């Protein structure tokens, strides 16, 4: 399960960016064509957060739809898998323009008291 390694990296990045502040929420954007299973990330998140400043944080995942653009006619189509056929000119020559994302969109931290 490569999602465990991915989740460990996400936790490490958020910990570094939080600079010691306690993190209460993390929002990820995961594309439906990314070959990353959101449910597996959710499963790994609590485990990876144990004994870190993210312990107890909630995880929100936004799944982005797949989109492709035809190289021949420029038409854009929805994709449910990383390949497809243009519904306008029937070409199979598509560039994926959305749906392969994996990014940390937001993190919510508690303010540090002086």
| 34-60: pLDDT as tens digits | 999 999 999 999 999 999 999 999 999
> Residue 44 annotated as binding?
no
What's the pLDDT score for residue 17? 96
Place of tokens 């799944």: 63
Average pLDDT, the chain: 95
> Residue 48 annotated as binding?
no
Take residue 78 and report the two structure tokens written for it. Answer: 């929805």
pLDDT at 24 over 90: yes
What's the pLDDT score for residue 111? 73
pLDDT at 114 over 90: no
Q: What is the mean pLDDT of residues 84-95?
A: 96
Looking at the chain, the whole-number percentage of residues with pLDDT higher than 70 is: 96
> Residue 89 annotated as binding?
yes
pLDDT at 79 over 80: yes
Best CATH choice for the domain 2-109 from the list 1.10.1740.10, 1.10.10.10, 3.90.870.40, 3.30.2320.80: 3.30.2320.80
Distances (CA, A) of 28 to 1, 8, 13, 40, 72: 18, 14, 12, 13, 33
The residue ranges of every structural domain in the chain are 2-109
Q: What is the mean pLDDT of residues 66-72?
A: 97
């Amino acid at each position: 399960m490569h999602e465990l390694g991915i989740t460990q990296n996400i936790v490490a990045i958020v910990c570094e960016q939080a600079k010691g502040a306690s993190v209460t929420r993390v929002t990820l954007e995961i594309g439906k064509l990314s070959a990353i299973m959101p449910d597996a990330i959710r499963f790994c998140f609590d485990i990876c957060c144990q004994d870190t400043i993210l312990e107890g944080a909630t995880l929100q995942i936004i799944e982005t739809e797949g989109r492709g653009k035809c190289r021949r006619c420029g038409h854009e189509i929805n994709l449910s898998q990383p390949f497809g056929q243009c519904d306008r000119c029937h070409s199979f020559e598509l560039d994926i323009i959305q749906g392969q994302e994996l990014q940390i969109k937001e993190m919510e931290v508690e303010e540090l008291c002086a």
